[in-house]
């Protein structure tokens, strides 16, 4: 433990955040870092607990508590306090190969399980992690080792999101020849096209991919496995295949008027905005002026977002940046409490109200929170040209099913309402993996359409085919995908070599 009284002497201090009125005019990252001397004090706040829940990565009351990667958080925090950022990077690298991503987009499971958080503010482990990895990049410490000996085994990874990149990284280090197939035009999957640039600048992805390519990993973009090439062909060419395609099948709203012009899945909306931003070298003005940009006409339009999660929030923030005149975000569930309830004690994940960046920006621009709770759409209303002009909504109330005991949200009679809308973005979650990939490899899926494996395992029902990430566990967090990518790499290595020294 670096400073035994650090958690008593120093209060939590986070890096500056650009004001909503400024940041919503561009697509730049808006979370800034503390000076390293200030960051050292934040490392000093770590208590080096006898039982560090921050690194447990276990499930408590069906919710994740602590880091799924099992990063040795107290050790890295102490090294931050001592100012030894080089050694902190080497320590972090033993359990985590892609910290530049989680230190930007992870909800910090480690911090919510921090013992300091029981009575005061938790240690800023996420910002400590970002300070470590950015110091390492700035000082040329980050390398991707080139194997001295190749095993002669070839592995195909389908999907270049966080699970695919994590698996590719370790399998290549082990000496296997790795080829990653990506159906989009650029590498990154969810990181590239599911997360807006203001949360994760895409040049951060490019920086890592360049290192991986230099180390021998091959990336093949614009290849839609299951369409452009079959599973049988890949199994004939490669010794093992790892499916990391994500839970990319969006949940739809099959309602009257669904075929109206102006209704989009959130993932398609966010993807096109990110693609155009990269195509025009991150110049927002050029993006808005582009003749081939579907959403440049969003200026002055009324937007309704269906879904209260992170993707819905990203749609709110992106719509504001594109000039929407109003944004309403519909959430089926009741408003969360502002403080923990006794039924939700530490170190469980805190089920409390979270106002994210998109909602903050909506409050700044429109003067009120965009969220409307316990509400859903029942009908899309169109004009004579089948163009969306409004949505019909109804309020919902919780009701327990007498047979199953499950809580359901049911419509309340007499609460119907119309909301004017020029565009609706459906951010209602995902229904698991897309069927054509699974069918191409003949893998068995469960009732949630996730690829089925034995409990705690990654081998599918098809010989030599493995799975990891959201395609395996369902829609989840980037940090879980990275953790599963590391675990599937070990499983693949064992199946190829009879043993594995990966961890």
Q: What stretch(es) of the chain map to CATH 1.10.1060.10?
A: 6-138
Q: Are 49 and 40 in contact (CB under 8 A)?
A: no
**Assigned superfamily of 154-249+431-497:** FAD/NAD(P)-binding domain (3.50.50.60)
The two three-digit tokens of residue 231, written as one number: 């599973």
Residue 284, pLDDT score = 85
Sequence-distant (≥ 6) Cβ neighbours of residue 216 within 8 angstroms: 146, 147, 172, 177, 178
Cα(93)–Cα(87) distance, rounded to whole angstroms? 10
Residue 290, pLDDT score = 85
379 strand-pairing partners: 256, 392
pTM for this prediction:
0.96
Residue 295, pLDDT score = 87
- In CATH, the number for domain 263-426 is 3.50.50.60
Closest CA to 329 of 343, 318, 338: 318
**The CATH number of domain 6-138 is 1.10.1060.10:** yes
Radius of gyration of the chain (CA): 23
Q: What stretch(es) of the chain map to CATH 3.50.50.60?
A: 154-249+431-497, 263-426
Q: Judging by DSSP bridges, how do beta strands 375-382 and 154-158 pair with one another?
A: unpaired
Closest CA to 240 of 188, 146, 176, 296: 176
- pLDDT tens for 381-429 read 999 999 999 999 999 999 988 888 888 999 999 999 999 999 999 999 9
Cα(221)–Cα(16) distance, rounded to whole angstroms? 37
In eight-state DSSP terms, residue 116 is G
Burial letters 376-396, b for 16+ CB under 10 A, else e = bbebbbbeeeeebbbbbbbbb
Tokens 């592995």 identify what position? Answer: 155
Q: State the Cα angle at 133 between 177 and 315, rounded to 5°.
A: 90
Tokens 């005061």 identify what position? Answer: 120
Residue 437, pLDDT score = 96
Q: What is the mean pLDDT of each run of 10 residues along the chain (503 residues)?
A: 87 97 96 97 92 91 91 96 98 97 97 92 97 98 96 98 98 98 97 97 98 98 97 98 94 96 96 96 88 84 96 97 97 95 91 96 98 98 97 96 87 97 96 92 93 96 98 95 98 98 90
Q: What H or E segment, with its residue span, contains residue 36?
A: helix 36-44
Q: Helix/strand/coil (H, E, C) string of 399-429?
A: EECCCCCCEEEEECCCCCEEEECCEEEECCC
The two three-digit tokens of residue 113, written as one number: 């399980």
């Amino acid at each position: 433990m670096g400073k035994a009284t650090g958690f008593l002497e120093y209060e939590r201090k986070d890096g500056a955040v650009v004001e909503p009125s400024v940041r919503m005019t561009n697509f730049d990252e808006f979370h800034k870092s503390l000076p390293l001397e200030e960051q050292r004090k934040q490392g000093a706040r770590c208590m080096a607990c006898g039982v560090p829940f921050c690194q447990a990565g276990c499930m408590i009351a069906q919710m994740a508590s602590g880091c799924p990667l099992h990063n040795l958080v107290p050790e890295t925090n102490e090294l931050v306090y001592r100012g030894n950022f080089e050694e902190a990077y080497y320590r972090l690298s033993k359990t985590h190969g892609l910290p530049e991503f989680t230190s930007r987009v992870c909800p910090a499971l480690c911090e919510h399980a921090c013992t300091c958080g029981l009575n005061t503010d938790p240690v800023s482990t996420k910002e400590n992690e970002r300070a470590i990895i950015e110091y390492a990049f700035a000082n040329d410490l980050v390398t991707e080792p080139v194997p001295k000996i190749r095993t002669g085994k070839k592995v195909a990874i389908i999907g270049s999101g966080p699970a695919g990149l994590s698996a590719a990284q370790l399998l290549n280090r082990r000496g296997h020849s790795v080829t990653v197939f990506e159906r989009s035009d650029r590498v990154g999957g969810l990181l590239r096209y599911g997360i807006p640039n203001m949360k994760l600048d895409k040049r951060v992805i490019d920086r890592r991919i360049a290192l991986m390519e230099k180390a021998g990993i091959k990336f093949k973009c614009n290849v839609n496995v299951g369409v452009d090439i079959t599973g049988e062909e890949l199994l004939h060419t490669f010794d093992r295949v790892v499916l990391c395609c994500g839970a990319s099948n969006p949940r739809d709203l099959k309602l009257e008027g669904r075929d109206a012009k102006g209704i989009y899945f959130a993932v398609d909306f966010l993807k096109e905005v990110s693609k155009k931003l990269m195509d025009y070298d991150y110049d927002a003005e050029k993006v808005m002026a582009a003749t081939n940009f579907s959403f440049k006409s969003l200026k002055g339009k009324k937007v309704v977002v269906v879904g209260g999660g992170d993707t819905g929030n990203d749609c709110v923030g992106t719509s504001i940046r594109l000039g929407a005149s109003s944004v309403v975000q519909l959430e089926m569930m009741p408003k969360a409490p502002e403080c923990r309830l006794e039924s939700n004690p530490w170190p469980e994940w805190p089920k409390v109200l979270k106002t994210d960046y998109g909602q903050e920006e909506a409050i700044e621009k429109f003067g009120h929170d965009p969220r409307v709770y316990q509400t859903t759409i029942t009908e899309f209303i169109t004009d004579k040209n089948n163009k969306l002009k409004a949505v019909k909504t109804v309020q919902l109330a919780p009701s327990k099913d007498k047979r199953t005991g499950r809580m359901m949200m049911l419509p309340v009679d007499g609460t119907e309402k119309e909301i004017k809308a020029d565009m609706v973005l459906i951010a209602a979650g995902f229904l698991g993996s897309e069927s054509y990939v699974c069918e191409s490899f003949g893998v068995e899926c469960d009732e949630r359409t996730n690829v089925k494996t034995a409990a705690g395992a990654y081998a599918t029902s098809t010989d030599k085919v493995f799975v990891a990430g959201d395609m395996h566990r369902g829609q989840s967090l980037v940090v879980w995908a990275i953790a599963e990518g590391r675990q599937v790499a070990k499983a693949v290595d064992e199946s190829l070599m009879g043993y594995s020294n990966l961890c």
